[in-house]
Every structure is written in C-alpha cells, then in structure tokens.
C-alpha cells in the first residue's frame, strides 16, 4: 500500500536520524514501530506523510505513485489520519467539534457553527460512536479522561476516512489499562475498515500483544522486522 525506498533523514550534518531504509506496508496491516526514545520512530512515522522531509529516497503509495509534487502530497495527506501522543485536540471545544475538524478543517467548522452541516455531523457522530463516545459528543474535551481524549483523537483521524493511519506514541501518556483499551480499539477499527496502520510504541509487551508485524528500530536503523511471535521468541 505504501513503500519507503532508500529513505534516510539527516537533521544536521552530524545527526542521521534514519539510515537508508526500505519498507513496504501492506494494505490493512497493523505495524508497530518499536524502539527506545531517540531510535527514529517518530522520524520514520512522519516521513510516511512527509511531515518530515526525507534527505534521500522516496515514498510511494499504490494509488498515487511517487509522493513528490504538491498535488500528490495533498491527496496523500487527505487520506492519512494522524494520532499524536498529546492528542492535539482543542480542550475547550466539544468532542464533536474536534472530530469535525478532522473532517472539514478548522475554518469550515468555525464558519459553520451553527448549524453544522448534517451529513458531516452524522459522519462525525458515527466516528465517536465507534470509539464508544457518542454519549460524550457534546462534552468539552478537557472534561474527558486521558484515554477518552485519545479516543476522540482516533475518531478525528477516522473522520477523514483514511487509508493510512499513523499514530505516534498514542499511549505514552496513558496508564496500562487505558493504553490497552486505546490500542485494542485502534486495531479493531483499522481492521474493520482495512486501514494500513503504523503505530510507534516503546513497550515491547504492548507490541507483542497488538502488532501484526513489528519493526524494531535502534539508532536510526531497522534491527528487527517480523511477527510478534518471532519477536517474543528472541526476547
């Protein structure tokens, strides 16, 4: 579905964050990027939607081809959902408004308040329903728990109807029980919709529990690429 070919990232002359790497992420595959802090997970993840510009190499998607020009990049980003550690929601707005931001963009949400366009609203509400937060749609996000906030983040990304979902340490700020709920939900939803998903984590046990495939990174290099079973056999 999406390929990295000889991709490397160098932030400064003396800092190669990612050594030349070639990886292929298949449709619907749930991949965990596993590595310690500074290993290059975030750099690799952000290269997939070119939030980080690769120093060498290229990113190619099956349906778009090489993602180089502006039009290809826009088409690619429109269909790429992004989930962050600090969820990047707007706390004083409702869960519903935040999900609509993922769907129609900040300015449109603002111009449209109120009434919101009903078709858009329905999609946003369906996304909140899928993460189990329909009842909280009209609550301010800063009134929700950390896990609930992260699930609003999933709903917002889902509202873009993505074909690629990128989650950068989505559970790093959550307790173990919430972490598992968030990862289980993310995996279920992405499987149901056939969304190719790449999630970065630093906990081996969570990677083994949830990944279809684990890509291990250390010092900017891929040091493992295989099934969670193969990983646990090697641990």
Give the shortest CB-169-to-ligand ADP separation in angstroms. Answer: 7
Which of 46/163 has CB closer to ligand ADP?
46
Q: Which of residues 20-79 bind ligand ADP (CB under 6 A)?
A: 35, 37-43
Closer of 41 and 163 to ligand ADP (Cβ):
41
Q: Which is nearer to ligand ADP, 45 or 164 (CB)?
A: 45
Among 11, 24, 135, 230, binds ligand ADP (CB under 6 A): 11
Considering beta carbons, is residue 18 or 164 the nearer one to ligand ADP?
Answer: 18
By CB under 6 A, is residue 98 in contact with ligand ADP? no
Q: By beta-carbon distance, which residue lies closest to ligand ADP?
A: 42
Nearest CB to ligand ADP, comparing residues 95 and 131: 95
Interface with ligand ADP by CB under 6 A: which range of 81-89, 102-110, 130-138, 180-188?
A: 102-110
Q: How far apart are CA 97 and CA 74, in angstroms?
A: 23
Other CB atoms within 10 Å distance of the CB of residue 51? 15
Cα–Cα distance for residue pair 43/19, rounded to 1 Å? 11
Least distance to ligand ADP, CB of residue 191, Å? 25
- CB of 72: closest distance to ligand ADP in angstroms? 24
> What is the per-residue DSSP string for 141-165?
GGGS-HHHHHHHHHHHHHTT--SEE
Name the site residues for ligand ADP (rule: CB under 6 A).
11, 15, 17, 35, 37-43, 92, 106-107, 110
């Amino acid at each position: 579905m999406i390929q990295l070919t000889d991709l490397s990232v160098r932030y400064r002359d003396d800092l190669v964050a990612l050594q030349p790497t070639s990886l292929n992420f298949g449709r619907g595959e749930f991949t965990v990027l596993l590595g310690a802090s500074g290993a290059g997970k975030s750099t690799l993840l952000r290269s997939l939607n070119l939030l980080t510009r690769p120093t060498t190499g290229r990113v190619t998607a099956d349906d778009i081809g090489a993602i180089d020009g502006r039009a290809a990049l826009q088409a690619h980003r429109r269909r790429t959902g992004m989930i962050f550690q600090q969820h990047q929601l707007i706390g004083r707005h409702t869960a519903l408004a935040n999900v609509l931001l993922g769907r129609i963009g900040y300015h449109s949400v603002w111009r449209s308040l109120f009434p919101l366009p009903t078709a858009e609203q329905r999609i946003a509400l369906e996304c909140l329903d899928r993460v189990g937060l329909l009842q909280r749609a009209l609550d301010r996000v800063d009134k929700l728990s950390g896990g609930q906030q992260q699930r609003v983040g999933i709903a917002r990304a889902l509202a873009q109807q993505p074909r690629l979902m990128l989650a950068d340490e989505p559970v790093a700020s959550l307790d173990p029980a919430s972490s598992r709920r968030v990862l289980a939900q993310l995996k279920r939803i992405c499987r149901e919709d056939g969304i190719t998903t790449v999630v970065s984590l630093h906990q081996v046990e969570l990677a083994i529990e949830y990944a279809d495939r684990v890509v291990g990174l250390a010092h900017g290099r891929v040091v493992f690429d295989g099934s969670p079973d193969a990983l646990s056999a090697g641990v």
